[in-house]
Structure 1
């Protein structure tokens, strides 16, 4: 079942118009959410990021879009798809209603919610070979639009094709200033001795939910110095560890970039703390 504008419909009946603005212009934002046994992980953060994204895109936020209403919409769909006792991935997409060209005819919105079962209830550390490379064919722009989850993801799509064609697990994306911003599917963290760095949102990094949780965790660990700062490609091979974060995998260690191989110790330590935080809500 799929939630289409508040109605539960079968997948084969969940149709969108060819004039849908999410399709026609990328006029859409979305949240990827992890649900464990009927509990939405970090729901408050997801909700406020969705509201912020809609405001940035100048969408009309319905009066009904309270945290309680949207949470119920998600959990009703989870129940309908028999995922109440299973880990699940949820995509909540909001699009502006059709009409107009670049200038919308309306600011009112529609939405869809889809679900997919996941294998594991909590995050597991994947230490298998995970080699990455820089994607330099195209850049993302620094600024607020790059920090939201919108349908404008051409760089991520092309980077994923490049990675697939060249045998890499992932790629790291640069901004117009040639700073490393993030991976194709998540935020980037760099560990050098007792220093942990991550690119700032102002560089074009996604305002990631897992990133936000890790920033809180690291700030409570006096043995590490946390920096939100621009990262040059030259720093990558000097690091002890690199890892990627998103709400689906939690923390994905990078094991190799060019000739440099990395450990996974700090990533594993942080993943344990992230699982505890997820259990506590």
Structure 2
């Protein structure tokens, strides 16, 4: 039986999942040509996909027979995954009627569990119209996502997902765009939550701001039409709020604090707000 197209989204990262408890999961992300940066370490975008998958599954298992969709995430990067695979250990710490909260830690399994990232992810609780992964599987069960053909797997993640970078005709700043199609949809039929991390990292890279050090994601509306578009909006030096998006970084807050806004190209609605403290010493194509 042919797997559903949405399973190829994490499959392009080589991801596998292991159920480690009633509402606990380990997610592994291997070192692949597409997931490594120029320094040979796992890209921050690949770490974020692993977190989305691990925390998302743990949160969903905690509210069975219902399921969950990502509402927010807070990620602190404390190291880099240089050996691999990355292992994200996640567990549901609160399972409510409307909200499921997961905590996680990500480590470099091949380097003696050297720490890479930690944080939490909140999820809204919904009724699924699909069969959730590992829902009826015993503890210890594994799921390996299908991988693309070798000729595709050798290409960059951006090429595989159809992501492009260019100049925003309105602001003159950087614009990163990902189409909404079978390559980027999740089981709900909307833009896959794990891919927002790739968009954020790509737009930071294109704006030459650095790689994320601390990242707060707030999911506002799903992308349902046409494409997801990411822009950098500098933090306003006056204190609160944000200012216009030329991709140059803030003033009083310096180049270390920026906001990335992802919008639905079809409806124009804000989809995701990402508040980021960047590490300007790291290559942002990370």
What TM-score does the superposition give when structure 2 sets the normalisation length?
0.27
Structure richer in helix, relative to its length: 1
Q: Which protein is richer in strand relative to its size?
A: 2
Instruction: Give the TM-score of the pair, scaled to structure 1.
Output: 0.27
